[in-house]
Amino acid sequence: MERLAVRQDDWRSEGACLHADPDVFFPISAAGASAPQIRMARAICAGCKVRATCTDFALEHRDVEGIWGGTTDDERKKLRRSRARAPGPARSSRSARPARAA
């Protein structure tokens, strides 16, 4: 797989994934045999300093596939739905907090 050219001023140039095997971030399924691959991608994302920006990018660009900011396609779909239902302005993943139980 060919790597994309990344400008130095682009947030992606700071990603922990920059030198990782890109195939890790594109599992063939969301579970089953792909589970170890998803865990590996999430482990890379876990310590990434641009993780929130990466997640926000994937949430804003619905056509991206794979693991972005440690989230799967399905997880991002759920995040978009919950944000659409939430009152008030949309929040970025950097400010999102779990809802408190009443």
What pLDDT, on a 0 to 100 scale, did the predictor assign at position 101?
47
What pLDDT, on a 0 to 100 scale, did the predictor assign at position 3?
53
Measured between alpha carbons, how far is 57 from 51 in angstroms, rounded to an integer?
A: 10
Is the pLDDT at 6 greater than 60, yes or no?
Answer: no
- The model's pLDDT over 36-87, given as tens digits with 9 standing for 90+, comes to 999 999 999 999 999 999 999 999 998 899 999 999 999 999 999 998 887 7
Measured between alpha carbons, how far is 20 from 30 in angstroms, rounded to an integer?
A: 20
Measured between alpha carbons, how far is 96 from 42 in angstroms, rounded to an integer?
A: 19
Model pTM score: 0.73
